[in-house]
Structure 1
Amino acid sequence: MPADLAVIGLGHLGIPLVQAATTAGVRTLGYDPDPGAAADLRAGRLPCGAWDGALSAADLRRMAAGGFRTTSDPAELGRVHTAVICAPTPLGADRTAGLSAVGEAARALAAQLRPHTTVVLESAVYPGTTEEFLRPILEDGSGLRAGRDFHLAYSPGRLDPGNRAYGYANTPKVIGGLTPACTEAAATFYGRLTEKVVRARGPREAETVKVLETNYRHVNIALVNEMAMFCQDLGVDLWDVIRCAETKPFGFQAFRPGPGVGGHGVPIASDCSPYGGRGPGRPLAMVELAQQVNGRMPGYVTRRCAALLNEHGKSARGARVLLLGVSYKPDVGDQEGAPAREIASRLMELGAQLSFHDPFVARWRVLGQPVPRADALYEAVADADLTVLLQHHRSYDLQGLAVKAQLLLDTRGASPAGTAYRL
């Protein structure tokens, strides 16, 4: 049976879209060029390194019951009304988003593209990518013209994994089409999945929404990270400062420091376009500085660990250090960009004996070596010379863990006041 929707790219963007679509009664085809990955999903098996620790095999079975099926045959892409490209765009050595997976997805779709199909890009990309990179691939491969023969639009992903208050249905969806008709075609589709659709002037504006939202987060986290170091030097309790500041009913939004910034949303600071397109001619200096500040946090956390051990008569070399939470967000298993790996690497280079615990991560490797997983959490905390909370999963009883710990460094400010050392 033909599907209403094809989702190309079954990762951290694609699977939540599939969940939302099947919940809304939309027959959905998931395309992955790897036959093994497609077969695993058909069988209800999660891929290694799942994008969201909250997703279960039961969820996949429910999605299948709601009309979701997978394929590795690109010919099936020609039988859908709407195709959404959710391919990954990992950072390259020059810190630009890699577009190879988007290009592969576009070429697979172009060869099957039919008139009147609505094509949407959701991957995180540089402004202009939809028009200057994606559009030529689709037009050259199909012989069709965007805006005349098929609809083309961009919609930034706004998923917040682990957020119990905001999901796909109640998070407004921004859409920018190549033409007004393209925008309306995409809006009609997304209107089936979400309560509110916000129309941008065009795809460049919609792409830049993602840039602004991501950069806003990184710049504000950098500010409070600098405040954490500033307050540590002054002997000021930053967490109490934030508690008081967030009572201001206007002009302030509370952000909290941490060991670094992870996730799939990558800030864009440079003028460098990954496809050679036109840039504004100047970098975003504030974002570049924020990247530098946030990039220093793993080193700062490592130095705090070594200093705490030293203050209590222990050396980092040979110390038993337990890391709690190695994912980039609470209550998910996704480790994309998580600072835990760099912190672990630095501690290993100092000679520490590491172990980790994370309810959503079964196995973890650092510097090519497996890190032992602590299965008996409270016993491991009691045995460790230093326990470091890197991610606050809801299942952690921090008051109980603080009682057991010899030393506890809380980099998230989540433990009760006075029970742990804070960042």
Structure 2
Amino acid sequence: MESNRTAEVDATPYDELLGLLSSKNAQIGVIGLGYVGLPLASLLHSSGYSVVGYDIDAEKINKLKRGVSYISYMDTGIVKTLSESDHFFPTTDFNQLERCHVLIICLPTPVGSHDEPDMSYVFSTASQISKILRPCTLVVLESTTYPGATDTDLIKILEKSALVVGEDYFVAFSPEREDPANEKYKTCDIPKLVGGVDEKSSILVEQLYKNGGFQKPVRVSSARVAECAKLLENTYRAVNIALVNELKIVFESMDVDIWEVLDAAGTKPFGFQRFNPGPGIGGHCIPVDPFYLTWKAKETGTPCSFIELAEKTNTRMPFRVVDRTQDALNEDMKCVKGSCVLLLGIAYKPNVDDIREAPSLVVWTKLLELGANVEYHDPYVPVICHTRKHPQLAMEESVTKGELSSRIHKYDVIILVTNHSCFGKYSFLNGFKGIVIDTRNQIPRHNGLRVVMA
């Protein structure tokens, strides 16, 4: 792979980079090949760019070289195309990125033990970039962050290179908007927000994604606007989910079915958007992003009490599931301690294999603390990977479909946490004599099952 860093006489780094992006001769480096980075790398590659894909996980890189997908909803054929290409280069060697004209950061931005932003992955990578940064380079952050992180903290680290932002190199923020397993909206279909730290950076990042296969790049006035837009998107969802979670409890006390209420409200053709209650919120965005906003707001002396209340409501929902389980067992003159519980679906949402921040793990941990024997069945998650908050569950294995049919009668309680479509109409529960806790309003009520809503 040869570098294309050859500029015309007197061409500025900006002019050279704009030309390389326009002609698709720029080499693109994607840092982090997870559920955001790999689809992005694939789209840029299919659009004609030469792409270097970097990840510290050697297993991922080896699978990519063999043409094997490690993302459940990403077609193996797409990955095979990448593996056979002469302009896609998966690597664990960070120095390979030195040849790239664009460096796109797609790394986790979780929260710490006190709900503070954890930018360690991004900032440590920025420090590595500063050591290889050369003129005629665009650095793009896609990871969710707090307002001002790109134009202040990120640049402060990159300035260690002694290069001048806006003259030698350029910086922008373009938030990822992936929705895993969404069959309606693919990566290329989702409008791509772009905002640079200056005018030139904005023009360059817009050119990158316009030529990179995105149908609708949307340029905003600054990186901060793009950062805030991303936080608003997911905070909006968190607040509205909290609203229906709270109303579920309120309506239940009034002997009113929240699901029927939602169906009724949904008949209004304007002014209402439906959100469904559940066992809590999960994934990398909705449980995390609002904390980036509230943390920054506190720093500026403007707390977000409304958002914080919504987060508290969503956080307590998994514990309500445990409470409902405990109450149902008590009605059968049983206690949680010593009972056998099956969690049905543990991914954070249907039809994905992602368990980050999944409410099922909170339910599981609390049941263990109460002395229950807990197993799970999830075809998407055959083995529990290591998680930061629930490391004790690592390497637990799913009950297989075959095992489930022969073991189902040993359980005292089955809790539906995640309603994967592969569960169908839940006919495998037919004849089950124990308690079914339904957190998703999915279990049929006409087959003799004892169903408790939670």
Same fold (TM over 0.5): yes
Contact 1:74-1:112 within 8 A present in 2 as well = no
Q: Which residue of 1 aligns with 2:392?
A: 368
Which of 439, 443, 449 lines up with 1:415 in the alignment?
Answer: 443
Question: Once the two structures are superposed, what CA deviation does each residue of 1:17-53 show, in whole Å capped at 9, x if it has no partner?
Answer: 122223333321112345565445434466xxx6x43
**1:157-182: CA deviation from partner (whole Å, max 9, x where unpaired):** 11001111111011111011112221
* Residue identity opposite 1:302 in structure 2: V
The counterpart of 2:53, out of the listed 30, 33, 39, is: 30
Q: What pairs up with 1:139-288 in 2 under 5 angstroms?
A: 139-141=159-161, 143-191=162-210, 192-265=212-285, 266-269=288-291, 272-273=295-296, 279-288=299-308
TM-score, normalization: structure 2?
A: 0.85
Matched with 2:423 is 396
Q: Is the 8 A contact 1:322 1:380 kept in 2?
A: no
Structure 1, 75-84 or 334-343: larger mean CA deviation? 75-84
Residues 352, 227 of structure 1: CA spacing in aligned structure 2 closer, same or farther, 3 A cutoff? Answer: same
Measured in 2, the distance between the counterparts of 1:271 and 1:299 equals 24
1:337 aligns to 2:357 (yes or no): yes
2:412 partner letter: D
Pairing partner for 1:5 from 22, 28, 31: 28
The total of aligned residue pairs comes to 415
Give 3-state SS (helix, strand or coil) of 2:284's partner: coil
Match of 1:128 in 2: 148
CA distance in 2, matches of 1:167, 1:241: 32
Query: Which residue of structure 2 lines up, in the alignment, with residue 293 of structure 1?
Result: 313
Among 60, 68, 77, which residue is 2:79 paired with? 60
Q: Give the SS at the match of 1:395.
A: helix
What root-mean-square deviation, in Å, do the aligned CA atoms of Structure 1 and Structure 2 show? 2.3
SS at match of 1:288: helix
Instruction: List per-residue Cα deviations over 1:112-137 (Å, max 9, x = no partner).
Output: 22222221100111110001111122
The 2-side partners of 1:63 and 1:384 are apart by 45
**Greater helix proportion:** 2
Structure 1 counterpart of 2:443, one-letter code: S
Structure 1 window deviating more from structure 2 (404-413 vs 196-205): it is 404-413
* Helix, strand or coil at the partner of 2:430: helix
Q: Secondary structure at the match of 2:172?
A: strand
Structure 1 residue 414, shift from structure 2 partner: 2.6
1:242-297 Cα shifts (integer Å, max 9, x gaps): 11111111111100011111111113346535xxx994312211111011111111
Q: 1:421/1:398 Cα in 2 relative to 1: closer, same or farther (>3 Å)?
A: farther
The amino acid of 1:176's aligned partner reads G
The 3-state SS of whatever aligns with 1:333 is coil
Alpha-carbon distance between aligned partners in 2 of 1:230 and 1:402, rounded to the nearest angstrom: 30
Counterpart CA distance in 2 for 1:194 and 1:293 is 36
SS at match of 2:352: coil
Q: Which amino acid aligns with 1:415?
A: I
- Which whole-Å CA distance do the structure 2 matches of 1:295 and 1:307 have between them? 20
Letter in 2 for 1:346: K
Task: Quote the offset at 1:344 in angstroms.
Answer: 0.7
Structure 1 Cα separation of the partners of residues 250 and 165 of structure 2:
53
- The Cα offsets for residues 214-269 of structure 1, whole Å up to 9 and x where unpaired, read as 11111111111111111222221111111111111111110001111111111334
More off after superposition, 252-261 vs 341-350: 341-350
Question: Structure 1 residues 214, 409: CA separation in 2 closer, same or farther (over 3 Å shift)?
Answer: same
Counterpart mapping for 1:102-113 below 5 A = 102-113=122-133
**Distance (whole Å) between structure 1 residues aligned to residue 304 and residue 44 of structure 2:** 37
Conservation of the 8 A alpha-carbon contact between 2:166 and 2:198: yes
Residue 413 of structure 1 and its aligned partner are, at CA, apart by 1.8
Alignment partners' CA distance in 2, 1:28 and 1:237: 52
DSSP-derived class of the 2:107 partner: coil
Letter in 1 for 2:224: R
**What is the identity, as a one-letter code, of the residue corresponding to 2:345?**
G
> Any gaps of 5 or more consecutive residues in structure 1?
none
> Which of 370, 381, 386 in structure 1 is aligned with 2:413?
386
Which residue is 2:12 aligned to?
A: none
Residue number in structure 2 paired with 1:117: 137
SS of the residue 2:366 aligns to: helix
Q: Which residue identity is paired with 2:102? A: T
Work out which of the two has the higher radius of gyration on C-alpha atoms and give 1 or 2: 2
3-state SS, counterpart of residue 328 of structure 1: coil
User: Which residue identity lines up with residue 72 of structure 1 in the other structure?
Assistant: T
Amino acid at match of 1:128: G
Q: Which residue of 1 aligns with 2:432?
A: 405
Structure 1 residues 21 and 268: alpha-carbon distance in aligned structure 2, compared to 1, 3 A threshold:
same
| Unpaired stretches in structure 2, ≥5 consecutive residues | 3-25
**Corresponding residue for residue 18 of structure 1:** 41
Q: Is the 8 A contact 1:378 1:404 kept in 2?
A: no
Give the counterpart of 1:92 among 112, 135, 156.
112
Contact 1:154 1:175 in 2 (8 A): yes
CA shift digits 1:166-221 (9 cap, x unpaired): 11011111011112221121111111221101111100000011111111111111
Check 1:163–1:380 CA distance in 2 against 1; reply closer, same or farther (3 A cut): farther
State the AA in 2 paired with 1:412.
Answer: R
SS in 2 for 1:321: strand
Q: Secondary structure at the match of 1:6?
A: strand
Q: Is the 1:89–1:102 contact (alpha carbons within 8 Å) kept by the matching residues of 2?
A: yes
CA distance in 2, matches of 1:11, 1:323: 26
Are positions 1:317 and 2:337 aligned together?
yes
